[in-house]
Amino acid sequence: MSNKAWRTVNDAWEKLTKRERLLLFFTASVLPLMLLFVMVLEPALDRMQGVDGQIASLEHSVRAQEKMLRMLQDADLPDPNAKAHRDLKALVNRLDVINSDVDRFARNLVGPEQMLGLLHSVLGPEKDLKLIEAYSLPVEPLVLNKETEGTEAPVAPRRLTADAEVRAREKAMQEAVIYIHPFEMQLQGSYEALYRYLQSIEALHQGFFWDRLEYTADKYPNATIRLRVHTLSTEESWLGA
């Protein structure tokens, strides 16, 4: 500030009364405090009030959720998965029954390695019965269930070529888990002896399955039968023939 300006301010100050000087001094002292309040303290207070409002809102929300939780805990609500649990239990029980049936069925099966010996053992006591021939037939896959895809009308089967038949058989053999082991034998003897032999086989209560029985009457009292039976196995190869 220049000397001239300073003298001007000093002259103006000298002209003021004591009361005016006190008022001016007070104003000069209070003005910075007011500016500090307006620029710093007031926005901070506003923010604090906003935070207090948010806290109150959150507390109200928490209390409402706690009340809802207590109501849900006290209420006897049904289990939404109850039906699924019942269905699962029923399926497990059904599977146990099926597994039991399969085990019982498997215990009664005659293995391929046992078939020939068992048929011969039944034949042994029959003196009036003669075994003409006995031989095994090609192993076949057992198709348990063949799913059909789509809803189209069935198409008449086509005759396969020799190569196609071989490929189809090989594919079925690869996919099979159970195999049919067929066996054919020709017997000759009296009607009574043949009848007793068939009854003896039926009395075995083991896993023989009848496929075909051909009866030919010869010169009385003899007759000839061609009998085809099979057993099931998880083994593809013939072990006993």
β-sheet bridge partners, residue 189: 129, 223
Mean pLDDT, the chain, integer:
73
The predicted-structure confidence for 142-172, as pLDDT tens digits, reads as follows 765 544 344 444 444 445 465 655 565 555 5
Radius of gyration, alpha carbons of the chain: 52
Residue boundaries of the structural domains of the chain: 3-67, 81-109, 112-144+161-233
Taking only the tens place, the pLDDT of each residue in 213-230 is 898 888 888 889 898 888
* Cα dist from 199 to 33, 193, 194, 202, 203, whole Å: 122, 10, 9, 5, 6
Confidence band of 239 (pLDDT split at 50, 70, 90): very low
pLDDT tens-digit readout, 198-210: 888 777 766 667 7
Cα–chain center distance at 157: 35
Name the 3-class secondary structure at 130. Answer: strand
pLDDT over 60 at 39, yes or no = yes
pTM (2 d.p.): 0.43
| Domain 112-144+161-233, architecture per CATH | 2-Layer Sandwich (3.30)
Paired residues of 213 in beta bridges: 227
Burial 9-43 (b: 16+ CB within 10 A, else e): eeeeeeeeeeeeeeeeeeeeeeeeeeeeeeeeeee
